[in-house]
Amino acid sequence: MLRLLAVALFLVATGSRAQAPAAFQDGWELGVRYWLSSGTTRWSHNAQGVDPDNGNPTSILTYGKLTAHSVELHARRNFGDRWFVRGNGGLGWVRDGSFDDEDFDADQTKVSDTTSSVRGNRLTYAIVDIGRVLWTTGATSFGLFAGYHGWTERLDAYGVVFTVNPGGLPNRGESVPAISNEIAWDALRVGATLNSAIAPKTRVSLDLAWVPYAKFYNEDSHWLRGDLGPPPNVIIRGHGRGFQADFELRYLFAGDWEAGAGFRYWWIRSRNGDVRIAGFDVPLVELESRRAGLTLGLTRRW
């Protein structure tokens, strides 16, 4: 992130000398964007209150290397005394990834470790912001914004391969459903936005957002664990905080059209939550979601 910020500041500094349109103009933007991203969801809990022979954390579940392709629509309206409202909404497909389930006893000796293959499912998200440009100089503008971010992922994993298996349980083939996970975040975000022309037809934008509060609901359905009860057999509720960044380089062509390329990063972590499992409520140790990757976009301005 430091390198990203340094690049943006350099472009702004050099861009202040470019002959370009004004930094803020009333009007609309409407476009479509593709996001190639990789994500991780990881959570752990402490069940020592149920059985002191359990470790802390008792289990660590990691859904990792979750490659997703998504397409989104985005829009922005500049109006009034430098005010703006903007938003985007996207739908994606998680193409592949891995799932790792680790269990520990009281001295943190690993007593079980299994891996499964993630073969789907979906990614959906939406952001709505309202903000105001505080100052402009030449072709550069700086502003603040606040808004809402919704983010949901559904994952399905198949097969079970034991890497630690003191009980001698059999592996399961990849045609066997092992676990499904769905997590939904509802987050508030506040941040700063920077926009600067670096050439007559080229501009760069950078958004940095802090997430002071994000509520989540997580469901795990362990299809092979009858001892946990009917699925969804693990339910987690809690709240956390995080950070987001969007960087985009846009090139103006064919009058009012812009082609863009950039990078996006989302991260939210919670250490406040409760886990409902096998009829017991146990404390959450940590839950973390990350997603980051490259964006390509096409935007029309008028």
Q: Measured between alpha carbons, how far apart are the two ends of the chain, in Å?
A: 32
Q: Which residues pair with 3 in a beta bridge?
A: none
Question: What's the confidence (pLDDT) of residue 27?
Answer: 87
Q: pTM of the predicted model, to two decimals?
A: 0.90
Across 3-7, 85-89, 143-147, least confident range:
3-7
Question: What's the confidence (pLDDT) of residue 233?
Answer: 93
Where residue 125 falls (left for φ over 0; alpha for ψ -120 to 50; beta otherwise) is: beta
* Secondary structure letter of residue 247 according to DSSP: E
2-301, what's its fold? Lipocalin (2.40.128)
Look at residue 90 and tell me whether its pLDDT is greater than 50. yes
Where do we find the tokens 């409520």? 281
Confirm if 115 and 98 have CB atoms less than 8 A apart: yes
pLDDT band, residue 137 (cuts 50/70/90): confident
In this predicted model, what pLDDT tens digit does every residue of 117-133 receive, in sequence order?
998 799 999 999 999 99
Question: What's the confidence (pLDDT) of residue 18?
Answer: 39
Confirm if 207 and 193 have CB atoms less than 8 A apart: yes
